[in-house]
Amino acid sequence: MKIIFFGAPDFAAASLRSLLSSDKHTVCAVVSQPDRPKGRSGKPVPTPVSQMAEDAGIITLKPDNVKDAEPIALLRQFNADIFVVAAYGQFLNKTLLTMPRFGAVNVHASLLPKYRGASPVQMAIVNGEEKTGITIMQMDKGMDTGDILHAEEIPIAGDDTYHTLLDKLAVLGGKALLNAIDKINRGIAIPHPQDNAAATYAPLLTKDMGVIDFNAPPYKIYSLVRGFNPWPGTTAEIYGETFKIWHVQPTDLIHGEQVGTIIPCDNKLQICCGNNGVLDILELQAHGGKRLTAAEFLRGRR
């Protein structure tokens, strides 16, 4: 099939890589975000998807708004069979969704209808889910509401962070996409409507959502830190100073102290939390400082 691919970050690049490795399909064009300034130099840098497409010699479009008349006219000229969308960052309107004969499909990093929206990977970890996966869906005008064409699941490991789980899902996304595209091409794909009553949403994340409340049980805080690592990150006030919290671990200890009390302990930073639980702070970072282990931190805080 002739495919136009829409995407931007590394997660999407994994799906593009799978399409490029297949001898059954042709990626005739790629649509990504405009190059953005990055780093201290402020030099515009292409997205991972743009870079991969350009390295492969594929025509790459980078419109500010893909719904403008000019990019729509350009995309129509390719006469593509299907659009594939993965973490593109812009909504496709009805004109675009109905342009190819097979419409547009999306690579979504959750088991829909759970975790529709912008942060499905983070929120699956934060909410203590035991599994997640990839859903390939037929796109419609709603937010991740289209019919399910193919889904594959994986377990969430107890030490998975947003970063590690996203990497696993990126690889799975490429595999699931090829399976779905193959079914569509052979005419055996069976769309399954989503159960809207079972839908949950993963909101656009902000930094204030990562402020730790020690009234929560240790496991809840553990899940929050893992889910928001590395972005948007989690913070906590310790010794009257705000720190970025990188790594924590629930303990089996039980306390009878006020929530937020720091337990004196050699080489460990332990804090009393809700449900009489105790949390180990294993790695933290002061504003403008280095990332430190608890032992390194405490050597300067006797």
Q: Provide the β-strand partners of residue 152.
A: 134
Is residue 80 within 8 Å of 181, Cβ to Cβ? Answer: no
State the virtual CA torsion across 110, 114, 120, 123 in degrees, nearest 10.
-130
C-alpha 112/C-alpha 235 separation (Å) is 30
Cβ(171)–Cβ(14) under 8 Å? yes
Sign, CA torsion 179/180/183/189: positive
Phi and psi angles of residue 221, each rounded to the nearest 5 degrees, phi first: -65, -40
- Report the share of the chain in percent with pLDDT over 90: 92
User: Are 116 and 144 within 8 A, CB to CB?
Assistant: yes
pLDDT in tens, 188-220: 999 999 999 999 999 999 999 999 999 999 999
Length of the chain (residues): 302
Q: Is the predicted pLDDT of residue 28 greater than 70, yes or no?
A: yes
**Which pLDDT value is given to residue 268?**
83
CA–CA–CA angle 279, 280, 285 (5° rounding): 115
Cβ burial 57-89 (10 Å sphere, 16+ → b, else e): ebebbbbeebeeeebeeebeeeebbbbbbbbbe
Q: What is the pLDDT of residues 58-76, one digit of tens each?
A: 999 999 999 999 999 999 9
The C-alpha atoms of residue 40 and residue 230 are separated, in whole angstroms, by: 20
Joined together, the tokens standing for residue 139 give 């796109």
pLDDT at 238: 86
Band the pLDDT of 302: cuts 50, 70, 90.
Answer: low
pLDDT at 131 over 90: yes
Q: Which two tokens stand for residue 110?
A: 């959750």
Q: How far is CA 51 from the centre of its chain?
A: 20
Q: What is the pLDDT of residues 168-192, one digit of tens each?
A: 999 999 999 999 999 999 999 999 9
Indicate whether 266 pLDDT > 80. no
Global confidence as pTM: 0.94
| Mean pLDDT confidence for 127-142 | 97
- The whole-number average pLDDT for the span 118-141 is 97
Pick from 81-85, 138-142, 236-240: least confident: 236-240
DSSP string computed for the chain: -EEEEEE-SHHHHHHHHHHHH-SS-EEEEEE-PPPEEETTTTEEE--HHHHHHHHTT--EE--S-TTSHHHHHHHHHT--SEEEEES-SS---HHHHTSSTT-EEEEESS-TTTTEES-HHHHHHHTT-SEEEEEEEE--SSSS-SPEEEEEEEEPPTT--HHHHHHHHHHHHHHHHHHHHHHHHHT----B---GGG--EEPPP-GGGGB--TTS-HHHHHHHHHHTTTTT-EEEEETTEEEEEEEEEEEEEE--SPTTPEEP-TT-EEEE-GGGEEEEEEEEEETTS-EEEHHHHHHT--
Share of the chain above pLDDT 70, in %: 100
Confidence band of 265 (pLDDT split at 50, 70, 90) = confident
Q: Which two tokens stand for residue 266?
A: 């050699």
Structure confidence by residue, pLDDT tens digits, 2-26? 999 999 999 999 999 999 999 999 9
Which pLDDT score is estimated for 300? 77
Position 118 scores a pLDDT of 95
Beta-bridge partner residues of 61: 31
Among 117, 134, 191, smallest CA distance to 18 is for 134
Average pLDDT over residues 134-156: 97
